[in-house]
Amino acid sequence: MTGVRRRAGAAQPPLLPCCRAKRPVSRSPRAQKEGTHPGAMVHAFLIHTLRAPQAEDMGLCRVLYSCVFGAENLPDDSRPHGAERDRLLRKEQILAVARQVESMCQLQQQASGRPPTDLQPQSSDEPVPLHEAPQGAFRLAAGDPFQEPRTVVWLGVLSLGFALVLDAHENLLLAEGTLRLLARLLLDHLRLLAPGANLLLRADRIEAILVRFLPHGQLLFLNDQFVQGLEKEFSAAWPR
C-alpha cells in the first residue's frame, strides 16, 4: 500500500479520550475570539523526527525536544497522582502534535512529488534552503488535544520537523517568520544536520536560543538588525 492513502489523523490511534471529554461547551466563533483567553502567544515549541513515508515501520515519530510555555488550566482533579497525570497529558499532547505534523508533512511531500530521499540527512555542511522546505499550518479543535483551540505552524527540514503551537488568533505571518528564524538558528548553531550532531544532549543551547528569540512564548517583531544583534550576543555567550 502506498503511503498516499493515509490521511492525516486517520492512521493515528484515537487520542486521549479524556481530553475530548473535557471539551468546553460549544462556543460561537465570536465568543472563542473574545473569550477569557483571546491569547496571542506561543503555547509550545517542538522539534521531532520526520520519517520518509515508506519508512513508517522504522520506529515511531519521536519528539526530540519540546518546550511548553506556561500550562493550561486544567479542571481541578482531586484524585491522587494529579500532577503525574497532568504531566503525562502534556507529553501526550506534544506527541500528538508531532504525529500530526509528520503526517501533514508526508502528505505535502507526496503531493508535491518530492522524492523521499529529500528527507534523508545530508552530510554536506551547506546551508539548507529553508524557503523551499515544506511548511504549513493546521488547526487543533478545542479539546483535541489541547483545551483551547490552537493553531500549529510547522516546517519540515529534511528529517526534522519544527512546530509552534499557537493560541488560536496569533499573528500567523509573524509565527511563520519566527519558526523559520528558529529553525535557521538551530540548524546553524547546533549543526543539527551534520553527522554526529546530538540534539538530545544540547538542550541548553536550544533553551538559550529560545530565551532570546521566543521568550516565554512571546513572538517578537525583530527586524534584521535586531536578529543580528541577538545572534551575535548569543554566539559570544555560546561559542560553538
Partner 1 sequence: MGPRCLCGQRLGGETPTAGRRGVARSCQLLQGQERKATEARQPVGIGEIQDEELKKFCFRVSKLLQKEDLGPDAADTLRRLFLIVSATKYNRKLEKTCVDLLQTTLCLPTCPEQLQLLCAAILREMSPCDSLSLCCDHIQNTRQLSLVASVLLAQGDKKQEVRNVGLRVFKVLESRQPEGPSLRPLLPVLSKVTSLAPGTLHQDQTNVLNKRLVDWLRYASVQQGLVHSSGGFFSTPRARQPGPVTEVDGAMATDFFTVLSTGQHFTEDQWLNVQAFSMLRAWLLHSSPEGTGPADTDDRSELEGSTLSVLSAATSTSRLLPPQERLRDKAFEYCQRLIEQSNRRALRKGDADLQKACLVEAVLVLDVLCRQDPSFLYRTLSCLKGLHARLCGDPTSVRALLPLAQFFLNHGEAVAVDSEAVCQHLFTRTPSELFHSPTLAFEFIQFCRDNLPQFGRNLSVLKLSFPNLFKFLAWNSPPLTSEFVAFLPSLVDASTAVEMLHALLDLPCLTAALDLQLRSSPAASERPLWDTSLRTPSCLEAFRDPQFQGLFQYLLRAKASGTTERLAPLHQLLQPMASCARVVQCAEAVPTLLRVFFSAVSQFTDKALTNQLALLLLERSDSLYQVPGYEASVHRVLSSEFLALCARHPSLVVELAKELLEFLGGTGGLRSGARMLSSVVWAVGEYLSVCWDRRCTVEQINKLFEALEALLFELAQSRPSATLPKCPPQVVTTLMTTLTKLASRSQDLIPRVSLFLSKMRTLALSPAASSVHCEEGVGAVRRRATELLHLLKMPSVAQFVFTPSVDVSEPRYHRDTNTALPLALCMVSRLVEKEAGLLPG
Buried b / exposed e across 198-217, counting CB within 10 Å, b at 16+? ebeebeebbeebbebbbeeb
* Residue 22 burial (C-beta neighbours within 10 Å; 0-12, 13-18, 19+): middle
Q: Shortest approach of partner 1 to residue 55 CB, angstroms? A: 15
User: Scanning residues 2 to 61, which ones bind partner 1 (CB under 8 A)?
Assistant: 4-5, 7-8, 13-18, 28-30, 32-34, 36-41, 60-61
User: Is position 220 an interface residue for partner 1 (rule: CB under 8 A)?
Assistant: yes
Contact map string, positions 62 to 81, toward partner 1, x by CB under 8 A: xxxxxxxxxxxxx----xxx
| d(C-alpha 101, C-alpha 161), whole Å | 7
Q: How far apart are CA 168 and CA 32, in angstroms?
A: 9
Gap between the Cα atoms of 10 and 151, Å rounded: 19
Span from 122-130, 186-194, 198-206 in contact with partner 1 (CB under 8 A)? 198-206
Q: Which is nearer to partner 1, 54 or 171 (CB)?
A: 171
The three grid cell numbers given for residue 97, joined into one nine-digit string:
502534535
Q: Enumerate the β-bridge partners of residue 46.
A: 66, 163
Asked if 237 is part of the footprint of partner 1 (rule: CB under 8 A), the reply reads: yes
207 binds partner 1 (CB under 8 A): yes
**String of contacts with partner 1 for each residue 129-158, x by CB under 8 A:** ---x-xxxxxx-x---------x-x-----
Residue 186: CB atoms within 10 Å: 23
**Total residues contacting partner 1 (rule CB under 8 A)?**
107
Which residues 84-103 are close enough to bind partner 1 by CB under 8 A? 84-89, 91-92, 95, 103
Residue 194 in the binding site for partner 1 (CB under 8 A): no
